[in-house]
Amino acid sequence: MRHAVRVDAEPGEQTAETVRQLRALATPDGTAALSRAAALLADGVDAVAALTRLRAEVGTDLAGPAWGIARQREKARPAFGADADRLLFTSDALEQAGRPELAARRAARLLAGGADSVADLGCAAGTDTIALARAGARVLAVDVDPVARELTALNVEALGVADDVWVVAGDAVELVAAARGGEVAGCGAAVLDPARRAGGRRQLDPDRWSPPWSTVVTLLDRVPTSVVKVAPGLDHDRVPEGVEAEWVSVGGSIVEALLWGPAVATTWRRATVVTGGQVHELTADADPGPAPAGPVRAWLHEPDPAVIRSGLISLVAAELGATLVDPTIAYLTSDARADVPWVRSYRVDEVLPFNLKKLRALLRERGIGRVVVKKRGSAIEPETLARQLRTDASGTATVVVTRVAGAPTALVCDVTG
Ligand SMILES: C[S@@+](CC[C@H](N)C(=O)[O-])C[C@H]1O[C@@H](n2cnc3c(N)ncnc32)[C@H](O)[C@@H]1O
């Protein structure tokens, strides 16, 4: 059974055409066209030749859309695995899609308290909707965009969870404004993932997200079993009282930031670091304050960006017996190497005031011809400096350019050869 409410409002011509094409791809002929496009893509046939062959084999109507979806599926495969070959994405929807493994983690946490119906407010291609349905919830998938609704309706069908999903046209701003008794649109829980791009550009101001910040705050206030995806750069001052803010990194890069409503929140801030498939969580029930600063010691530690963004560096400093190299710089230093997921450690071999001539002379003296440059609190361009320091010598090193007690400083680390 598939439940889909379609809007009566007139979508733009392009939108109507995209919806028509998506529906055509969901027919048996469309499925055959998609398989053929995937095969041509896998064979490395270039776009012009592939489209010519597809037009001849599956018709002009299906050729272009099938080729477009095959290319999106190829892009989606690293994150979505085998599901990618059954899902439909427009490039816009794929760009906005979160990682499915993180959507599953979010869904499990949101539902752990017993909620069984969830409103996915802004479903796009349905990544969160699918994760919530797979976690056992009944999901009301809402979007203002007819293409998003069509994608979600087709994707939940393709992955066999359509019986638990209702795809509806709706404005999350209005639905949240009408939320009462801990529910929104009749659901006891909600996921809100505002669009944070417009015209291909990132919207840094949360008031310009869609839905805007005011809807985020109202949802967290009125629907305590809720989670909102926000920009990783969100100012801590914006996080409402009683709401948990979590920053998640995968492989050393921030991938998402979340605000958990009061019924799900269990702490003040959380840094979640995913490395090598392992999930590590660092939490604080209250602001731990800044870490102390001190002189550079034998090891330099670069905190994971989730630790930095969540404001939990001082917890890591205390665990490692470490200090900051400068009160304003997120590098830690201690006497020992650290074996924790929160930092990456570098052995400090040389410390000198930053000066290109002196740095070059030192590297020459130590037989170092290739360096990786890292920087924090400096205007230098790492790639340019690495090129400027390159010679034929066989040794390697990591050069960290930063401020130490306010002074521009170079730290030569992990020298080999
Ligand atoms: C960032 S995307 C959601 C991505 C989705 N959670 C995923 O991981 O695939 C935001 C979605 O919200 C929708 N949207 C924006 N403003 C909305 C509003 N006021 N009401 C409902 N949906 C809205 C957009 O059309 C878009 O599909």
Q: Is the C-beta atom of 119 inside 6 A of ligand 1?
A: no
Going from the Cα of 172 to the center of ligand 1, the distance in angstroms, rounded, reads 9
Identify the residue whose C-alpha is closest to ligand 1 atom 11.
122
Q: Are 124 and 93 in contact (CB under 8 A)?
A: yes
Spatial neighbors of 229 by CB under 8 A, at least 6 apart, are 98, 191, 192, 193, 194, 256, 257, 258
Q: Is the CB of 24 under 6 A from ligand 1?
A: no
Residue range 17-27: average pLDDT?
95
Give 321-349 as a DSSP string: T-EEEETTEEEEEESS---STTEEEEEEE
CA neighbor of 348 nearest in space, from 394, 404, 391? 404
Q: Is 72 in the pocket of ligand 1 (CB under 6 A)?
A: no
Question: CB-side exposure of 188: number of CA atoms within 13 Å?
Answer: 12
Task: Compute the distance from residue 139 Cα to the ligand 1 centre, in Å.
Answer: 15
CA distances from 128 to 63, 104, 141, 413 (A): 30, 8, 9, 43
Amino acid identity for residue 343 in this structure: V
Instruction: Give the whole-number percent of the chain exceeding pLDDT 70.
Output: 97
Closest residue CA from atom 1 of ligand 1: 195
Q: Is the CB of 124 under 6 A from ligand 1?
A: yes
Residue 202 CA to ligand 1 center (angstroms) comes to 14
Q: Whose CA is nearest to atom 15 of ligand 1?
A: 210
pLDDT of residue 11: 56
Q: How far is the CA of 62 from the centre of ligand 1 (A)?
A: 27
Among residues of the chain, what percentage have pLDDT more than 90? 94
* CA of residue 12 to ligand 1 center, whole Å: 18
Q: What residue's CA is closest to ligand 1, atom 25? A: 145
Q: In terms of Cα–Cα distance, which of 319, 303, 323, 300 is closest to 311?
A: 303
pLDDT at 197: 87
Q: What is the pLDDT of residue 201?
A: 86
Q: What is the pLDDT, as a whole number, of residue 9?
A: 46
pLDDT band at 112 (very low <50, low <70, confident <90, very high): very high
Work out the pLDDT band at 417, boundaries 50, 70, 90.
confident
In whole angstroms, give the CA distance from residue 291 to residue 285: 17
Q: How far is the CA of 168 from the centre of ligand 1 (A)?
A: 12
What's the rounded Cα separation, in Å, for the pair 327 and 8? 58
**How far is the centre of ligand 1, averaged over its atoms, from the C-alpha of 190 (Å)?**
13
Task: Quick: pLDDT tens for 243-254.
Answer: 999 999 999 999
Which CA distances in Å does 69 have to 16, 126, 231?
17, 16, 28
Ligand 1 centroid–CA 194 distance in Å is: 5
Please report the atom of ligand 1 found closest to the CA of residue 215: 19
**CA distances (Å), origin 271, targets 20, 88, 131, 282, 315:** 43, 32, 22, 5, 11
Q: Which two tokens stand for residue 221?
A: 């206030």
Distance 52 CA to ligand 1 centre (A): 35
Q: How far apart are CA 189 and CA 371, in angstroms?
A: 51
Among 80, 92, 144, 171, the mutation site with the greatest number of ligand 1 atoms within 8 A of its Cβ is 144
Q: How confident is the model at residue 3 (pLDDT cuts 50, 70, 90)?
A: very low
Q: Does position 5 have pLDDT exceeding 70, yes or no?
A: no
Question: What's the pLDDT at 10?
Answer: 55
Mutate to test the pocket of ligand 1, among 95, 96, 139 (most ligand atoms within 8 A of CB): 96
| pLDDT of residue 8 exceeding 60 | no
- Answer yes or no: is pLDDT of 188 > 50: yes
The CB of 193 under 6 Å from ligand 1? The reply is yes
- Cα–Cα distance measured from residue 118 to residue 222, given in angstroms and rounded to the nearest whole number: 14
Q: How far is the CA of 309 from the centre of ligand 1 (A)?
A: 25
Strand partners, 14: none
Q: Residues 276, 281, 287, CA angle at the centre, nearest 5°?
A: 145
Q: For ligand 1, is residue 142 a contact (CB within 6 Å)?
A: yes
Full DSSP string of 113-160:
TS--EEEEES-TTSHHHHHHHHTT-EEEEEES-HHHHHHHHHHHHHTT
Biggest alpha carbon distance in the chain? 75
The C-alpha atoms of residue 71 and residue 90 are separated, in whole angstroms, by 10
Cα(122) to ligand 1 centroid in Å equals: 3
- Does position 2 have pLDDT exceeding 80, yes or no? no
Residue 303: closest CA among 279, 273, 277: 273
> Which of 102, 123, 155, 219 should be mutated for ligand 1, with most atoms under 8 A from CB?
123
- CA 55/CA 48 separation, integer angstroms: 11
Cα–chain-centroid distance for residue 308? 16
Neighbours of 394 (CB within 10 A): 11
d(CA 16, CA 28) in angstroms, rounded, equals: 21
Q: Phi and psi (nearest 5°) for 7? A: -75, 155
